[in-house]
Structure 1
């Protein structure tokens, strides 16, 4: 009886060992998803450049008119947001 259990265990182990290392394969629609991600990345970078340009113009306007300086916060926020957005891929690779 013990010999039968050992033989069955070895047969199952041998069957599992035959699977080997599967090679990773991309999903069928991954090229469209990656294209969409590239479009979003481009849009995020464009919006970041636009935000920094707008904040710089507003900073100059506030200095010229003598108003309160709110735009340095906008510049800092745009720069921090751009740093997080451009490093999102690196952050996700580190997490996963």
Structure 2
């Protein structure tokens, strides 16, 4: 009898809550603008890193030194993949 009353009360409370619609928090547009700027700077940094590593690779080949720049190119490319796929990864984790 107690379980039936608790179940009935639970059904009544859930029916009153309904399905709320999502609403953006205050200043969400400013936060999203900051995220877009940050993403742009990350991508710009990745392009600069790849160009720098390419120039260093050419210099190392020309001067006959040890080749450290292929690691820099690989690191910049992996960083770019992670930076550009961060949004997709977070959507996959959050929307499970």
Asked if these proteins are the same fold (TM beyond 0.5), I'd say yes
Say whether 1:70 aligns with 2:68.
yes
**C-alpha distance after superposition, 1:39-78 (max 9, x if no partner):** 0000000000000000000000001111111100000000
Cα separation, 2, equivalents of 1:61 and 1:35: 39
Against the structure 1 CA distance between its residues 9 and 67, is the aligned structure 2 distance closer, same or farther, given a 3 Å change threshold?
Answer: closer
Q: TM-score, normalised by structure 2?
A: 0.86
Higher-Rg member (1/2): 1
Counting matched residue pairs gives 94
Taking only aligned residues, the RMSD between alpha carbons, in angstroms, comes to 2.0
What are the superposed Cα offsets for residues 17-54 of structure 1, whole Å, 9 maximum, x if unpaired?
02211000000111010000000000000000000000
Q: Which residue of 2 aligns with 1:27?
A: 25
**Are residues 14 and 58 of structure 1, via their aligned partners in 2, closer, same or farther at CA, if it must alter by over 3 Å?**
same
- Gapped regions of structure 1 (runs ≥ 5): none
For 2:34, the equivalent position in structure 1 comes to: 36
